Amino acid sequence: MLTNEQINNIKNSINIVDIVSNYIPLTKKGKNYFGVCPFHPDSDPSFCVSEQKQIYTCFSCKATGNVIHFVMNYENISFKEALKILADKANINIDIGDTKRIISDKNSKLYDIYDTALKFYQNNINTASGKTAKEYLYSRGFNDEIIKEFMIGLSLTNHDLLTKILVNKKNSYEDMLKSGLVVKNNYGYSDIYSNRIMFPIWDVTGKVVGFSGRIFNGEDTKQFAKYINTKETPIFKKGELLYNYHRAKNSCRQKNCVIIVEGQLDLIRVYSIGVENVIATMGTAFTKEHTLLVKRLASNVIICFDGDSAGAKATIACGNELTSIGITPKIIRLENNMDPDEYIKSNGKEKFIEKVDNPINFIDFKLSFYKNDKDFNNNNDIAKYVNTIIDELSKIDDEILKELTLKKLSIESNLDIDFLRDSLNKKKVNVKKEIKNIKSTVKEDKYEMASKHLIYYMLRDKKVIKMYNNSKVFIPDEKYRLLAKEISGFYINNGFIDVSALMNSFTNNEDMIKLIGEIEFLNLNNEYDILQINDYINVLKQYSINSEINRLEQQMHTINNRDDKLVLAQKLLELKKEQSKIVEEKLYERD
């Protein structure tokens, strides 16, 4: 079991700026560092890292934490796994213990079911029953090494073998149905998959969460779907996963480049020729969640979808999603409507790698795509084309690329380049007006302000913590009350206050960590005076007194006994005197 001292030793041996800048580019502005937030779709540098405090926060999505939390959230790993990574970087030899990821109890049964299914399918393909399936894979260019590495398996023609195995392992029918691997019918319970080659699907940490089953034995694709994917479950959501992500991430980061293809077979073919920085979508539209995953891998992105018209449309959609978060992808287009698997088989490894080394930029691809169905003898078509490209150029920041594209557009459309520049500038003004962020001005009540400001200075000076403890003041809002209590407890236990170390107390409470970040990055002076702190405490005291006065006044209307009323009246008098005294003290102090 790691002690707090050991954890802080690891954390204090590294600089958060050095660690974060290994993942995302940072630029120093004043005393802090800024970058594009990796935790939400972001194109502006709203992510702030404080070297002095050794913490980070995003002013947009409010993601906050210390260096341990950053590695945990970026890599999607456990606290202990993040500590292990940081200890290695700091060259600290320490026994972290078992770093195996802890699975939440509510989903552990599903993970167990998928683990059993994976072993079952893998075993099948290596038996006599798997001979035909293996021969099919060999014919597609797979070898035993690739089959093993990608854990490819086989579901047999028997419709209930996996179901029986899962029952024997004491799994409930409820969990089996929830997994999507078992279905209930008129005859009982049976397997979803039958006589299909099984491609496991992993989450970002490398745990199997689904399968894609492919026909292989000459079945009619009009009668049978070529692929059957696991239905969405609590652990499998296609819009949040990218195939091969866990295996590709190190290569992507080393090369600072990620290649995106469509589907498992294309990916495995590309991977098999030594191009390992490749991930794949899985028959679903490219989502905002996908862009975040890609952004964490590399700043250079290449899209290589199928060469047909559907692949071109998917390329535009994927590229637009990436552009919306500040990533301008490059594009590989394959001739003769080929997909990567077909292209590599027909043209060889070297030709494909040549394509990877020489992708086209996204705007050039768009020029080609939008021009494809236009008649340049038709003024309406020319106008549509020019307006579309002007609209696209208004979304990018690269001035050189815009100028080069305008020159091409001028030649293609026979329009004066100054006219095109003027059209673009007008469009940019309109776009800025449309996306202008109008912040709501919700007035903060004085009690919340006093709570936040008091905690702000408690995080900076033990004297303020002592003043808070001695005042025995009641903070109205529970979240601020809990945070003040934790700060006080941290100081009592350690004799000092350290925001970064305090955050470790809330590893399983993301809302509280965000609250610390929100308070830490308030635009307040670091210097304060005692009168200012007393003001905050007195405002909070006023809340308690006012609340008690209101309660007693309401109670006064509900009782009839004269003596009881006199007692309440006396209490109210004393509270109102105390209320007046606080106001007088405040005025006197200010004088």
Write down the domain spans for the chain: 4-89, 105-236, 240-366, 373-434, 446-590
What is the per-residue pLDDT across 22-37, written as a single tens digit (0 to 9) for each? 888 899 999 899 998 9
Of 74, 115, 294, 63, residue with least CA distance to 205: 74
CA distance 191 to 183: 6
- In the block, tokens 């001005």 appear at 441
Distance from first CA to last CA of the chain, Å, rounded?
Answer: 56
Whether the per-residue pLDDT at 242 is higher than 50: the answer is yes
Least confident segment among 117-131, 213-227, 524-538: 213-227
Q: CA 431, 433, 435, 436 torsion: positive or negative?
A: positive
3-state secondary structure of 376: coil
Closest CA to 367 of 385, 394, 387, 391: 385
> Which of 247 and 446 is assigned the larger pLDDT?
247
Please say whether the dihedral angle defined by the alpha carbons of residues 343, 348, 353 and 355, taken in this order, is positive or negative: negative
Arithmetic mean of pLDDT, 124-142: 94
Which span out of 285-294, 391-400, 426-435 was modeled with the highest average pLDDT?
A: 285-294
pLDDT of residue 98: 57
- Both tokens of 538, joined, read 């007195």
Long-range contacts, 463-469 (Cβ 8 Å, 24+): 464/528, 464/533, 465/491, 465/497, 467/530, 467/533, 467/534, 467/537, 468/537
Would you call 483 exposed, middle or buried from its count of C-beta atoms within 10 A (0-12, 13-18, 19+)?
buried
Q: Determine contact, residues 182/191, Cβ cutoff 8 Å.
A: yes
The whole-number pLDDT of residue 453 equals: 95
Closest CA to 269 of 342, 337, 198: 342
pLDDT value, residue 326: 82
Give the pLDDT band of residue 441 (cuts 50, 70, 90).
very low
Fold designation for 240-366: Dna Topoisomerase Vi A Subunit; Chain: A, domain 2 (3.40.1360)
Q: What is the mean pLDDT of residues 389-409?
A: 88
Greatest Cα pair distance, the chain, in angstroms, is 101
pLDDT at 270 over 90: yes
pLDDT at 272 over 60: yes
Asked if 137 and 115 touch (Cβ cutoff 8 Å), the reply is no
In this structure, the strands spanning 47-50 and 32-35 are antiparallel
118: pLDDT strictly greater than 80:
yes
Confidence grade of residue 203 (pLDDT, cut at 50, 70, 90): very high
Greater pLDDT, 576 or 44:
44
Phi, psi of 565 (to 5 degrees): -65, -40
DSSP 8-state secondary structure symbol assigned to residue 104 = P
Name the region of 330 (left: φ>0; alpha: ψ -120 to 50; beta: rest): beta
User: Alpha carbon 88 to chain centroid distance?
Assistant: 25
Among 42, 150, 471, residue whose Cα is nearest residue 140? 150
> Residue 256: helix, strand or coil by DSSP?
coil
Q: What is the mean predicted confidence (pLDDT) over 537-565?
A: 77
Find tokens 């019918």 and name the residue. Answer: 185
What average pLDDT does this structure show over 330-349? 95
What mean pLDDT, rounded, does the chain reach? 87
pLDDT of residue 588: 41
Residue 440's pLDDT band, with cuts at 50, 70 and 90, is very low
State percent of the chain over pLDDT 90: 55
- Top mean pLDDT of 217-226, 250-259, 430-439 is at 250-259
Q: Tell me, what's the pLDDT at 225?
A: 81
- Measuring CA to CA, which residue among 318, 263, 267 is closest to residue 293? 318
Q: What confidence score (pLDDT) does residue 97 get? A: 63
Q: Give the integer Cα–Cα distance in Å for 477 and 467.
A: 19
- Does the pLDDT at position 344 exceed 90? yes
| 558 vs 66: which has the higher pLDDT | 66
Closest CA to 125 of 139, 106, 144, 108: 144
The 32-35 sheet, strands edge to edge: 27-29, 32-35, 47-50, 55-58, 64-66
Q: Are 445 and 471 in contact (CB under 8 A)?
A: no
Alpha helices in 201-308 (DSSP H): 245-255, 264-272, 288-295
Nearest by Cα to 56 from 523, 521, 501: 521
> H helices of 226-339, where?
245-255, 264-272, 288-295, 309-323
Collapsed DSSP state (helix, strand, coil) of residue 442: coil
Q: Which structure tokens are listed for 524?
A: 């307040």
Predicted pLDDT of residue 467: 93
The mean pLDDT value for 464-485 works out to 91
SS3 544: helix
pTM above 0.85, yes or no: no
CA-based R_g, the chain, Å: 31
For residues 46 and 60, the answer to whether their CB atoms sit within 8 Å is: yes
Assess if CATH 3.40.50.2300 describes domain 4-89: no
- Please determine, for residue 475, whether its predicted confidence score (pLDDT) is greater than 50: yes
Mean pLDDT, to the nearest integer, of 214-221? 75
Lowest mean pLDDT of 16-25, 125-134, 429-438, 532-541, name the range: 429-438
Rounded to the nearest angstrom, the gap between the alpha carbon of residue 321 and the centroid of all alpha carbons in its chain is 15
Residue pointed to by tokens 């590599």? 344
Q: Is the pLDDT of residue 438 over 60?
A: no
pLDDT band with cut points at 50, 70 and 90 for residue 273 = very high
Q: How confident is the model at residue 508 (pLDDT cuts 50, 70, 90)?
A: confident
Distance from C-alpha of 580 to C-alpha of 574, rounded to nearest angstrom:
10
Assign a CATH topology to domain 105-236.
Answer: DNA primase DNAg catalytic core, N-terminal domain (3.90.980)
The lowest-confidence range among 91-105, 444-458, 549-563 is: 91-105
Question: How much is the pLDDT for 276?
Answer: 96
As a whole-number percent, the residues of the chain with pLDDT over 70 amount to: 91
Render the burial of 442-452: b for 16+ CB within 10 Å, e for the rest: eeeeebeebbb
Is the pLDDT reported for residue 40 higher than 90? no
Query: 113-122, 356-365, 396-405: which range is least confident on average?
Result: 396-405
Query: How many CA atoms within 13 Å lie on the side-chain side of 122?
Result: 16
Where are any strands of DSSP class E within 312-465? 330-331, 360-361
State the pLDDT at residue 436. 47
The rounded distance, in Å, linking the Cα atoms of 279 and 264 is 9
In 3D space, the residue among 181, 199, 198 whose CA is nearest the CA of residue 190 turns out to be: 181
Return the higher-pLDDT residue of 445 and 104.
445
* Other Cβ atoms closer than 10 A to 566: 10
pLDDT at residue 94 tops 80? no
- The number of angstroms, rounded, from the C-alpha of 278 to the middle of its chain's C-alpha atoms is 19
Give the position of tokens 């601020």: 480
pLDDT of residue 559: 78
Query: How far apart are alpha carbons 376 and 388 in whole angstroms?
Result: 14
Structure tokens at 322: 């990436």
**Cβ–Cβ contacts within 10 Å for residue 278, how many?**
26
